[in-house]
Structure 1
Amino acid sequence: MKALFCGTLAVVVALSGPSWAQSTERKNASPGLARETLVGAWHLLWLDEPGADGKLKRITDAKGSLIYTPDGHMSVQVMYSKPESASSNNPVAYAQGGYEGSFGRYDVNEAAHTVTHHVEGANVRALVGKDLPRMYQFSDGHLIIRSSRTDERWSVTWEHY
């Protein structure tokens, strides 16, 4: 039985991939451990996004959820308290009207510390059919997701429900 899950899409601070990935607590984890750790429901703690001045700003008044199922499905949703809070400084539009939402399948590449979201549906229709690779890091019981694109400077910090 498949259920429709909703979750939260986050924005990422782009750092150099290899050096950031090496800092993850799970770098020496056995195969499959990262995928098992990702599985479950996460709630949004905060987003770090570039502001109009290019400096990172922390957004703590947004709500969101991110869900990874054991059978490879994902769902992400984020609702900003104010529609204008969603950053327009990113090269890719993830939000519309202060809301981000997408669902689909996901794959994990533990060697690269990436999880790729294969978008099957989204409120921003231009994302449908896209593969969105994200870098992940586990730190102090949190999941930090960042874009793997060097032109996107956002990150999202999640905590298990």
Structure 2
Amino acid sequence: MSTHHIDIEFALNGRPERHHVDVRDNAVDLLTRCGLKGARESCGQGLCGCCTIYVDGAPASGCLYPAWKLQGKQVETIEAAVAGDEPVDPVQQAFIETGAFQCGFCTPGFVMMTRKLLELHPSPTDAQIEHYLSGNLCRCGTYPEIIAAVRLAAERLAGRN
């Protein structure tokens, strides 16, 4: 066995996984090999948010998170939201209805961060939305629509709409 590989076990979207990983791989590399395409590497420097995943419930940049450090962790990706009978979750639906995307490349990261924001602040102010999502970049410039999507998702999750 090469000294550059390690066996790891972790939970991915609620199901157990076991993989043989190169110690130089990041979480996005591993998730891609698992057939998941929602977390995307864009900047490779943890600056854009396209690769946002949750590791033990906390947002993490998948491009910077070493795959081997997933050992024993709970990992959740954008794909976890579509479990069950619904085609999309309320946050995704709000993004669709407000047109909060153009190319869609950044959307999974924004949705993941929006979910966490609404978990922490169910009725966020615009300033809280802007601050919490400041680590995510949209190259198409749909920021007004993204803020509208977060507001709509917050209203729906609170049962106000």
TM-score (norm 2): 0.26
Structure ID, larger Rg: 2
As a proportion of its length, which structure holds more strand?
A: 1
Q: Name the structure where helix makes up a greater proportion of residues.
A: 2
Normalized against structure 1, the TM-score is what?
0.26
Higher relative contact order (CA 8 A, sep 6+): 1
